[in-house]
Amino acid sequence: MGAYETQGFKLDDSGKRIVVDPVTRIEGHMRCEVNLDKNNVIRNAVSTGTMWRGLEVILKGRDPRDAWAFVERICGVCTGCHALTSVRAVEDALGIKIPRNAHLIREMMAKTLQVHDHAVHFYHLHALDWVDVVSALTADPTATASLAQSISDWHDSSPTYFKGIQSRLKVFVERGQLGPFANGYWGHPAYKLPPEANLMAVAHYLAALDWQREFIKLHAILGGKNPHLQSFLVGGMATPIDPDSQAALNIDTIAALEKLIEGARAFVRQVYLPDLLAVASFYKDWAGHGAGVGNYLVYGEYPLTEGKAAPKFLPGGVIRNRNLAHVEPLDAEKITEHVQHSWYAYDRDVKALHPSRGETRPTYTGPQPPYQRLDTSAKYSWLKSPRYDGLPMEVGPLARMLVAYASGHDQVKALVDGALGKLAVGPEALFSTLGRVAARGIETALLVDKLGDWVDELAANMGRGELRIHDNDTWDPARWPKFAVGAGFHEAPRGALGHWVRIAHAKIERYQCIVPSTWNAGPRDANEVAGPYEAALVGTPIADPERPVEILRTVHSFDPCMACGVHVVDPTGREVTRVTVR
């Protein structure tokens, strides 16, 4: 496309081209292309989703009460998010009000995922962009213990513990079997942590594997299994409550939930947050990279009472141009999707559609793989381009924390100001790659403390004999109107998630989803305006174009969720990640 001005910077697709395909340690299939100038600074970025599955098309003609079970399979990582949003959309269309107990169980399941997903992202998807695993072999275990004990009172912080971790890691390296640590850019000049910090991070990477396996038992208790929870129902939940039954949620179950939550609080407070701040202290220059579009959208989440106008624990709103002095109310009618650069078709002369009138008509016109580069003057992604009032919007933990902070949320302000103070940076640091990483940890600390409130209320209801879990009044389609339209909204771990449904004669006539990574990873729109991923990469310096870890840092800071997580393997089973420099 050449060079042109947009959003305050110049995009130029001349110069050296770097292609990362596939981008790994994400959910789904993503390709990233960037152009470097003579100083190895990114001057153009292209983000593309390389897989289409068509869930919205599959749903046409089906019973809307079954939709949640289909759309939940959109993703196995943010499990339950689409199911929750789907039942909310159908309930909105049919005017259903769910019992309080069902609301509490849904909130507990959603918060559990949020806490679990954020911690797993930090350690297992993003940490290796900042942590040099092989460097940990040269660390002094005693010095590592001193470092760990200086930032936390976590019980596993002895020299013996870290020596054991180092010995395990040494065996992996000597055998050439690095497992999850394979294919890293070890020894890259952009890594800044000292060996002791690297060893501490590797140890907690492994500890987080054990912790997350235990904590997610909350989903098994409340939803039957994980991933793909099985207890959702339009009108409530299918999880029985009976203090006198071993086959239902009872007092013993409440005690088990409380124990799991307390373990999560300890891990988040004593491991996750201290690690995040320790790692961030060595990378404060990344507060100057990855700003992106500067517009933020939040639906709001965790309603404190019932009804559409219920106040939410995390408020909704829109921030434009990084202006924290003004949070405007969100109007969902201002949301549209463009397909100018997406492999879909709208009717002629239609540039954008509101999702309630949205269409999913796949029209692949791209190159046949394998290909060298994408033509950004044409269609180049399976993702659409959502816009709010014509503007690209970043969604996710950073957006939520910014809107809450600017709205005067006391707990968020205390956590954000505390983190900024420890890192000795100002609020402007939030608008960055580092800001996204910090926001995710701050939100985790906020929600893990709040999670117990829902358990306490459920226990109190149980004690009063309030056991109702489902509203059966509108289950029979004979009670439904012939036509109904509804929308469901949810703040998933990665951001604002919306489902829109149109029901005709008790069947789904139209169904549309706009997921967080569509907002963030979508291609340019009909006005050639770049989305959050593409904009955030522009201006980033690359130390070694053959090993572009800097691209991964910013892309992973959004926590991409492109579709079901599928790795690419060669015939021997070895993971393939190709970085091409031209």
Q: What is the C-alpha to C-alpha distance for residues 502 and 581, in angstroms, rounded to an integer?
A: 47
User: Catalytic one among 47, 72, 78, 513?
Assistant: 78
27: annotated active-site residue: yes
Residue 474: partners with Cβ closer than 8 Å, 6 or more residues away: 94, 95, 96, 235, 480
User: Catalytic one among 31, 82, 121, 126?
Assistant: 82
Q: Residue 257 carries which side chain, given as an amino acid letter?
A: L
Strand partners, 51: none
Q: Give the 3-state DSSP-derived string for 383-434, with helices as H, strands as E and coil as C.
A: CCEEEECCECCECCHHHHHHHHHHCCCHHHHHHHHHHHHHHCCCHHHHCCHH
User: Catalytic one among 517, 524, 553, 557?
Assistant: 517
Check if the beta carbon of residue 354 is closer than 8 Å to that of residue 13. no
Kindly state the DSSP code that residue 3 receives in the 8-state scheme: E
Check if the beta carbon of residue 353 is closer than 8 Å to that of residue 19. no
* Dihedral angle over CA of 50, 32, 293, 385, nearest 10: -20
User: Catalytic one among 32, 81, 513, 561?
Assistant: 561
306: annotated active-site residue: no
* Dihedral angle over CA of 395, 401, 407, 412, nearest 10: 160
494: annotated active-site residue: yes
78: annotated active-site residue: yes
32: annotated active-site residue: no
Q: What is the C-alpha to C-alpha distance for residues 372 and 375, in angstroms, rounded to an integer?
A: 10
Closest listed residue to residue 166, CA positions, set 120, 122, 206: 206
Q: What is the C-alpha to C-alpha distance for residues 298 and 316, in angstroms, rounded to an integer?
A: 5
Q: Is 352 exposed, middle or buried (0-12, 13-18, 19+ CB in 10 A)?
A: buried
Q: What is the C-alpha to C-alpha distance for residues 422 and 400, in angstroms, rounded to an integer?
A: 21
The 3-state DSSP class for residue 41 equals strand
User: Catalytic one among 17, 25, 27, 387?
Assistant: 27
User: Catalytic one among 17, 29, 33, 75?
Assistant: 75
Check if the beta carbon of residue 211 is closer than 8 Å to that of residue 105. no
Q: What is the C-alpha to C-alpha distance for residues 424 and 438, in angstroms, rounded to an integer?
A: 13
Q: Is 556 exposed, middle or buried (0-12, 13-18, 19+ CB in 10 A)?
A: buried
82: annotated active-site residue: yes
What number of residues does the chain have? 582
Check if the beta carbon of residue 97 is closer than 8 Å to that of residue 471. yes
User: Catalytic one among 31, 494, 502, 547?
Assistant: 494
Q: Residue 84 corresponds to which tokens in the numbers above?
A: 């929750």
Please list the active-site residues: 27, 75, 78, 82, 494, 517, 561, 564
